[in-house]
């Protein structure tokens, strides 16, 4: 592990020299590529240099302990050595995580699709609750949420909503939310006071660029139609709504939230690209051996991942066995404890599955 870190530090130093070379700077395309490569190594190199400083301080304290010291000074040196050893262990764990292959999508914005499942009107109402939960979470992290497509149920619920969350690292935290979310509560429409169980499916897709997905527009049919829903200026009076159909996969996307036909088309194509990219990711994941599949990753969309039990005020994430008795705050977007536990578990499993020798 240390040998690998030394190699990365040498590579970082070589790149630092190149990006400051006048001959390289003239070639802007090459310079930008080298700058990007150097920037990608900066975090791990700085962490490694911090680790080496701690190791040097610990070795100095260890050497001093072998010398003839008075009792008071020896105690100070021993305490310093112990503190440095603890810091070294923490730094080593941090380096292990930084050496793991990074998900190339982690820094991307996300497109979230929420759809009512089993449970009829109650499922649609809970889909609305989840939409609010993720919107509030975005607000807490100073991200921006934008609705791309919305189909309401007419009773205050949502049949389906697709929205984008713009923010650094959005995918790295929200990618674990894909799957079936189950709710247990007494529906407002239930006169007998019986608890019903309903489900909502959530899919989290990384936003894609044109270079990420090869989309042949010859495979796409674009239809325009008149917007439906609540009226407003230009709504229901012009053919601004857009439906795109991808012939090879049968994926159909409709957008009508914008007054502009062009904007609705752009949104629909953005969603289509994300779905096609997600299909490719799913295909790659299915090719991995069961040993390497993460238990908390972005796997099977049909997997039941979480239960929200209203009578008990309880939220349980079934993948990691985490139960919180503060359902109200969770539904208000207080999700960081859940996200942090999912990320920590995923990292631990990735370290275990990597087969690397992590000894320093």
Q: Using one digit for the tens of pLDDT, what is the confidence trace for 28-44?
A: 888 988 888 888 888 88
Model confidence at 232, pLDDT cuts 50, 70, 90, reads: very low
Per-residue confidence band for 73, with pLDDT thresholds at 50, 70 and 90: confident
pLDDT tens string 195-204: 889 999 999 9
Judge if 88 and 159 occupy the same domain.
no
Distance separating alpha carbons of residues 296 and 66, to the nearest angstrom: 48
Of all residues in the chain, the percent with pLDDT exceeding 90 is: 28
Helix (H), strand (E) at residue 165: strand 158-166
- Same domain, yes or no, for 221 and 332? yes
- Give φ, ψ of 270 to 5 degrees: -65, -45
Bridge-based pairing of strands 314-317 and 304-309 is: antiparallel
Rounded to an integer, the average pLDDT of 206-226 is 80
The tokens describing 245, both together, are 């159909």
Question: Rounded to whole angstroms, what are the CA distances from 49 to 14, 91, 316, 334?
Answer: 16, 10, 41, 35
Q: In angstroms, rounded to a whole number, what is the distance separating the alpha carbons of residues 109 and 241?
A: 24
CB atoms within 10 A of CB 25: 13
Is 360 a residue whose pLDDT tops 60? no
Question: Which of 72, 99, 126 marks a domain boundary?
Answer: 99
- Distance, in Å, from the CA atom of 130 to the CA atom of 115, rounded to the nearest integer, reads 10
pLDDT surpasses 80 at 127: yes
- Do 119 and 92 fall into the same domain? no
CATH of the domain at 118: 3.30.70.1660
Residue 143 and residue 9 in one domain: no
Is residue 257 within 8 Å of residue 149, measured between CB atoms? yes
In angstroms, rounded to a whole number, what is the distance separating the alpha carbons of residues 49 and 53?
Answer: 6
Query: Which of these three, 48, 71, 99, is where a domain ends?
Result: 99
Kindly indicate the confidence band of residue 216, based on its pLDDT and cuts at 50, 70 and 90. Answer: confident
Model confidence at 337, pLDDT cuts 50, 70, 90, reads very high
Domain that holds residue 36: 2-99
Statement: residue 189 has pLDDT above 80 = no
Q: Label residues 152-185 b or e (16+ Cβ within 10 Å = b).
A: bbeeebbbbbbbbbebeebbbbbbbbbbbbbbeb
Q: For residues 165 and 207, give the distance between their C-alpha atoms in angstroms, rounded to a whole number.
A: 9
- 271 and 249 co-located in one domain: yes
Domain-embedded: residue 150: yes
Q: Does 354 map to a domain?
A: no
**Best CA proximity match to 154, nearest among 227, 226, 230:** 230
Q: Quote the pLDDT of residue 157.
A: 85
Q: Are residues 116 and 178 in the same domain?
A: yes
Residue 292: band (very low, low, confident or very high) from pLDDT cuts 50, 70, 90? very low
At 264-277, the pLDDT tens digits run: 888 888 888 888 88
- Which residue among 99, 123, 147 closes a domain? 99
Confidence of residue 125 (pLDDT cuts 50, 70, 90): very high
239 vs 45 pLDDT, higher one: 45
| Residue 47 and residue 94 in contact, taking contact as beta carbons nearer than 8 Å | yes
Strand 314-317 to 322-324 pairing: antiparallel
| Same domain? 123 vs 90 | no
For residues 245-264, give the mean pLDDT.
Answer: 85
Is residue 152 located within the same domain as residue 270? yes
Residue 233 has pLDDT above 50, yes or no: no
pLDDT tier at 287 (50, 70, 90 boundaries)? Answer: low
pLDDT bin (cut points 50, 70, 90) of residue 235 is: very low
Give burial (CB, 10 Å; 0-12/13-18/19+) of 231. Answer: exposed
pLDDT bracket for residue 105 (50, 70, 90): confident
Residues 6+ apart with CB under 8 A from 21: none
- Say if residue 116 is in the same domain as residue 261: yes
pLDDT on residue 234: 43
pLDDT at site 241: 85
Q: What is the mean pLDDT of the chain?
A: 83
Tell me: do 147 and 62 sit in the same domain: no
Is pLDDT at 293 greater than 60 in this prediction? Answer: no
Residue range 141-178, pLDDT digits in tens: 999 999 988 888 777 789 989 999 999 889 999 999 99
Phi, psi at 72, each rounded to 5°:
-65, -45
pLDDT, position 108: 87
Instruction: Tally the domains of the chain.
Output: 2
CA distance 300 to 357: 30
Q: Do residues 55 and 178 share a domain?
A: no
CB 322 within 8 A of CB 126: no
47-56, 203-212, 323-332: range with lowest mean pLDDT: 203-212
So what's the pLDDT on residue 92?
83
The DSSP symbol for 235 reads: B
Here the tokens at position 275 are 């779905």
């Amino acid at each position: 592990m240390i040998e690998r870190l030394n190699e990365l530090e040498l590579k970082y130093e070589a790149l630092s020299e190149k990006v400051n070379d006048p001959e390289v700077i003239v070639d802007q395309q090459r310079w930008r590529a080298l700058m990007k490569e150097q920037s990608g190594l900066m975090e791990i190199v700085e962490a490694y240099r911090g680790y080496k400083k701690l190791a040097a301080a610990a070795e100095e304290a260890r050497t001093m302990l072998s010398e003839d010291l008075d009792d008071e000074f020896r105690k100070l040196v021993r305490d310093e050595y112990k503190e440095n050893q603890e810091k070294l262990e923490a730094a080593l764990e941090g380096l292990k995580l930084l050496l793991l292959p990074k998900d190339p999508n982690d820094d991307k914005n996300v497109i979230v699709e929420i759809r009512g499942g089993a449970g009829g009107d109650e499922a649609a109402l809970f889909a609305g609750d989840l939409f609010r939960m993720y919107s509030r979470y975005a607000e807490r992290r100073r991200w921006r949420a934008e609705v791309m497509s919305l189909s309401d149920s007419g009773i205050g619920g949502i049949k389906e909503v697709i929205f984008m969350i713009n923010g650094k690292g959005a995918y790295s935290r929200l990618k674990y939310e894909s799957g079936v979310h189950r709710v247990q509560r007494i529906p407002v429409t239930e006169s007998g006071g019986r608890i019903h169980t309903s489900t909502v499916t959530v899919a989290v897709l990384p936003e894609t660029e044109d270079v990420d997905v090869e989309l042949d527009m010859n495979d796409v049919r674009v239809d325009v139609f008149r917007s439906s829903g609540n009226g407003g200026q230009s709504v229901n009076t012009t053919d601004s709504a857009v439906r795109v159909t991808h012939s090879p996969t049968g994926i159909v996307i409709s957008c009508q939230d914008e007054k502009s036909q062009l904007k609705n088309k752009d949104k629909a194509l953005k969603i289509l690209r994300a779905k096609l990219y997600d299909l490719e990711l799913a295909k790659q994941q299915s090719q991995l051996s069961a040993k390497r599949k993460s238990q908390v990753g972005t796997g099977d969309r049909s997997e039941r991942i979480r239960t929200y039990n209203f009578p008990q005020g309880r939220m349980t994430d079934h993948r990691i066995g985490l139960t919180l008795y503060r359902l109200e705050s969770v539904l208000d977007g207080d999700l960081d404890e859940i996200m942090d536990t999912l990320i920590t578990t995923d990292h631990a499993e990735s370290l275990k599955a990597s087969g690397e020798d992590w000894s320093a």
